[in-house]
Structure 1
Amino acid sequence: MNYSAAAPYVWDPGFADAADCLLSSDQCVIRAQHYFVKGLIEIPVIDSDEMFSWGVWVSLSRENFSRAADLWDTPGRESEKPYFGWLSTELPLYSPSTINLKTHVHTRPIGERPLVELEPTDHPLAVEQRTGMTLDRVHDIAEALLHGTGPEYE
């Protein structure tokens, strides 16, 4: 019920040894110019109590990234206003591309990944986030990711 991208779409393994780059399980910095946090796009599964989620990367402004990092271990951080960001994960099962969809990143309590809320457009991913997906759709995603080609998801 959860698939997660290991790095933002623009990450290159060659960045790993660069002093101005960082990739952790929660944050990413590229060339001290591009800033990302990892969050969850949650999609309700229709006719169940389950939630499907995509672990995705969102680019934030330098200021919002710094603010989020400053509050990372601060109790009550969930009261922070949402941060604007651009989706930086390609989810290959959606067309058109999911790259650069507008988002709002909602900080949650310590230990929980941020919630990524997509702008309410007619993009299929945004529609699924608003209206939910069927269990058959969840199975189709699992089948495509486990037996398909393209980026790997954990």
Structure 2
Amino acid sequence: MTCDLGFACTCCGDRHHELPMNYTADAPAVWDPAYTGADDSLLSSDQCVIRGEHHFVRGLIEIPVLDGDEVFSWGVWVSLSRENFARAADLWDTPGREAEKPYFGWLTTELPVYPATTLNLKTHVHTRPVGRRPLIELEPTDHPLAVEQRTGITLDRVREIAAALRR
């Protein structure tokens, strides 16, 4: 007996044998490519500053997969206060940084597979050991993303997300 974890792509019609378990946003929703190269703006793989006023870090919203062996994750951007961003940046390469208390932030990534916007959901950013992206914990609301983070999803839901994002 074989188990095909893939999905049928609604875009190209092909069958993809690998089921993606992570999707990542390249930048916060408010990033504009016109900021590239500006002295007061920065976009790296983990941090973003816009016009010296808005500060973001990239982290992972992890969702348990109830009938699978892996965790599904969204690579998202969260806005932090200037103070919390500076603290996180100061500790970025410091062993033991995971002992830091969580930072409050606002989700700044739109995830189009949810019926309600994901922008500006309240979060807690949990620092993890050096080399690992922060864990993003959503405030426990009735938003479908927050519910999925709390209760988990099935492989069928992962297939549904994959098909929707391949369009």
- Spell out structure 1 runs of 4+ moving beyond 4 A: none
C-alpha distance in 1 between matches for 2:151 and 2:70: 14
1:49 Cα deviation after fit: 2.4
RMSD over aligned Cα atoms = 0.5
Matches within 5 A, 1:5-154: 5-146=25-166, 148=167
- The code of the aligned residue for 1:117 comes to E
1:61 Cα offset (Å): 0.1
TM-score (norm 2): 0.87
d(CA) in 1 for partners of 2:115 and 2:139? 16
Deviation at 1:34, TM superposition (A): 0.1
How many positions carry a matched residue from both structures?
147
Query: Percent identity at matched positions?
Result: 78
- Checking the alignment, whether the CA contact within 8 Å between 2:139 and 2:146 is kept in structure 1 is yes
For residues 69 and 95 of structure 1, the distance between their equivalents in structure 2, rounded to whole angstroms, comes to: 34
Secondary structure of 2:36's match?
A: helix
Higher helix proportion (structure 1 or 2):
1
Instruction: Give CA-to-partner distance per residue, 1:40-79, whole Å, 9 cap, x none.
Output: 0000001222100000000000000000000000000000
Residue-by-residue CA offset, 1:119-145 (whole Å, 9 max, x unaligned): 000000000000000100101111111
Gaps of 5+ in 1: 149-154
CA distance in 2, matches of 1:21, 1:106: 24
- Distance, in Å, in 2 between the alignment partners of 1:109 and 1:95 is 34
Structure 2, unmatched stretches of 5+, are 1-20
Q: Report the TM-score when normalising by structure 1.
A: 0.94
